[in-house]
Amino acid sequence: MSIEIAAWIDGTLRPVDKLEAHRRGLRHPAVSIFLLRGSEVLLQRRALMKYHSGGLWANTCCTHPHWGEDPAACAARRLAEELGLSDIPLSRRDQVEYRAEVGNGMIEHEVVDIFVGELPKGREPEPNPAEVMDTIWRPLPTLAAEVMANPHDFTPWLSIYLRDHAASIFGSVRA
């Protein structure tokens, strides 16, 4: 199934197939979500069948807005699709850009709207096995140390977020 996302081609935002955007390393909009519970961060381990970065630990949820989709609406949609979580208030914390090789000949060159929310006690994710093989809560300082010690276990973008953008994403909750 082909999914159209937006990508900048010759300086103009245009609809393009998601896989084509990654094969060509086109600069494109994305969304990343971090759900917190105090100083703990909810991580997901990407399903092995994902087209890139399967089996690696990532932030709570990440995706690409469909062509014409608002980033906040996209974030809410994807939390429900991947983790069965709806009605979670999210706040936009930052917009960052990165470029990283992510395996299988794919390049993520993303302009990412980052959203953060608090998952109340008593609510837990219900992962969609086609998307997520596991979830775990990690204290932010522990996560930062694990990513530094074992970067091959984590997605490149999670490492970039923690290394370069932790202050703008997590505020007073520090890595």
Owner of token pair 């969609």: 128
Please write the tens of the pLDDT for every residue from 98-156: 999 888 888 999 999 999 999 999 999 999 999 999 999 999 999 999 999 999 999 99
Q: Which two tokens stand for residue 31?
A: 């969304």
Instruction: Give the Cα separation of 58 and 135 in Å (integer).
Output: 10
DSSP reduced 3-state for 15: strand
Domain ranges of the chain: 4-169
pLDDT of residue 67: 86
pTM: 0.92
Q: Which two tokens stand for residue 98?
A: 């990165």
Mean of pLDDT values over 52-73: 92
Q: Residue 175: is its pLDDT beyond 80?
A: no
Please list the active-site residues: 62, 110
Q: Does domain 4-169 have CATH number 3.40.720.10?
A: no
End-to-end CA distance of the chain: 38
Phi first, then psi: give them for residue 61, nearest 5 degrees. Answer: -165, 145
Name the packing angle between helices 140-149 and 156-164 (round to 10°). Answer: 120
Tell which residue, 129, 137, 116, 130, has the closest CA to residue 32: 116
